[in-house]
Structure 1
Amino acid sequence: MTLVIEQAVQARLVASVPRLETVPATLRYDRADPFAVRMAFPPPATLEGTEVTWEFSRELLTTGMTEPVGVGDVRVRPFGYGRTVLEFHAPEGTAMVHLRTSELRRFLERSQDVVPAGHEHLYLDLDHDLTELLRDAC
């Protein structure tokens, strides 16, 4: 069974000018980190000119397709017909991207095949994580 799911998506970046710029992005889900989803933007799509990756919970993305959710650095909400907005808040400013809800739904369904919702705890390796955390403590 596949342990990592990656899906390319077209994100429409909402700028202060009245146009939407389409930028490539990649959604990633890894069974080794079963609660998290990562969304990566390539260097040409970022102000810094380096790849930027945001990490947030799979549950946040799932809930945000149908209702506004999030109070921290990442917020998700439905937008109009067939779109979902992700807001990424950082000290440098806020980036808002529109994604097709159908693409998000397809990605999340694929992630459910890897780790069903509600069963994430069964895929954690707490002994390994604790060993890594304490490895240099001595």
Structure 2
Amino acid sequence: MNPFVHRTLVVQLQAGGTGRCPVLAHLSYDADDPFAVTVVFGHDGHVLARWRLDREMLADGLVKSVGVGDVRLRPVDTGMSRDSRELRMEFLGDARPDGGRHHAVVFAWAPTVAAFLRETHRVVAPGQEEVPVDELLADILSGAE
């Protein structure tokens, strides 16, 4: 079985009080880092931002509000049907010169994110994640000599 899952989707970016504009979101999952999903946002061949998200938090954000720090997720009812729900992802970035922080909100189609997560669950089921702590410690200690 392939230990990688990748999905590219068009999402809507809202930043700085502007309206929404479409950007690409590249979601990737690697079984070697079983708790994380990497999201790279891009437009016109340029990387706008890269975030590592907790896989369980991403799944929880499809059904309830989660996050209190730099990343906050919650479902949004578009008023159409259950299949047209969005996932609202709010990101707080580095400090700006004026003392504020960079801030962006991204809206993704929730069924597509859910399908991506189902694929990751086929690679590593929730609760079956393992991190090779002994190997990691051995690598760290061997470099300390």
Both structures adopt the same fold (TM-score exceeding 0.5):
yes
Q: Is it true that 1:67 corresponds to 2:64 in the alignment?
A: yes
Q: Is it true that 1:27 corresponds to 2:36 in the alignment?
A: no
**1:43/1:52 contact within 8 Å kept:** no
Of structures 1 and 2, the larger Rg is shown by 2
Deviates more, 1:15-24 or 1:89-98: 15-24
1:86 maps to what in 2?
89
Residue 118 (structure 1) aligned to one of 108, 117, 127: 127
Deviation by residue 1:4-57 (Cα, 9 ceiling, x = unmatched): 101001110013345210001100111000011110123648xxx545310011
Separation (CA, whole Å) in 2 of partners of 1:71 and 1:28: 23
2:99 maps to what in 1?
none
1:78 positional shift: 0.6
**1:39/1:54 contact within 8 Å kept:** yes
Residue-pair matches, total:
133
Gap runs ≥5 in structure 1: none
TM-score, with structure 1 as normaliser: 0.87
The amino acid that maps onto 1:86 is: M
Gap runs ≥5 in structure 2: 79-84, 96-101
Structure 1 residues 9 and 135: CA distance shift in structure 2, 3 A:
farther
Percent of residue pairs identical: 32
**1:8/1:25 contact within 8 Å kept:** yes
**2:12/2:21 contact within 8 Å kept:** yes
* Stretches of 4+ aligned residues off by more than 4 angstroms: none
Measured on the aligned residues, the alpha-carbon RMSD in Å equals 1.8
Residue 140 (structure 2) aligned to one of 108, 133, 137: 133
Separation (CA, whole Å) in 2 of partners of 1:50 and 1:132: 32
2:13 maps to what in 1?
13
**1:26/1:40 contact within 8 Å kept:** yes
Separation (CA, whole Å) in 1 of partners of 2:47 and 2:10: 18
